[in-house]
A = this chain, B = another copy of it.
Amino acid sequence: MDELVFDVFARNCTSRETMEHATGRWGTLALVALLDGTTRFNALRRRVDGISEKMLSQTLQALERDGLVLREARPTIPPHVEYSLTGLGTDVAKQLHTLVELLESRMPEVMTAREAYDAR
């Protein structure tokens, strides 16, 4: 029988890998940005401040491979490529969005905690 390959706490765990794609530095931002709807590559790049072309490309590829993001390219000149969320991607993105909002609303607490921590 298979081992618990979906248990995040296990070292060689498939879901851990996908979690990292979704919750990683750029994954979260890309997914949440896509909640606004279908978006083109460079629009996403402008939205996610600070991301490089390379990282956006890599991030989107990982998310597409995991079935969270859908990539649709029209063979026109110049190229027109649109990214959107799949059903699963939408669910994950919503969850991440909730987390982002939770954290943003409570950043004052975080700042206070940091000051206390740094004080000693």
* A interface residue numbers (CB < 8 A to B): 6-11, 14-16, 18-20, 22-25, 28-29, 32-33, 47-50, 64-67, 86, 88, 91-92, 95-96, 98-100, 102-104, 106-107, 109-114, 116-118
Contact = CB atoms under 8 A, between A and B. Distances in A.
Contact of A103 (B18, B103, B118): B18
Give chain A's interface secondary structure class: helix
A7 B104 contact: yes
A53 to B, nearest CB: 16
A15 B107 contact: yes
A103 B19 contact: yes
12 contacts: A8-B104, A14-B110, A15-B110, A23-B99, A24-B25, A65-B117, A65-B118, A67-B117, A92-B99, A95-B95, A95-B99, A95-B102
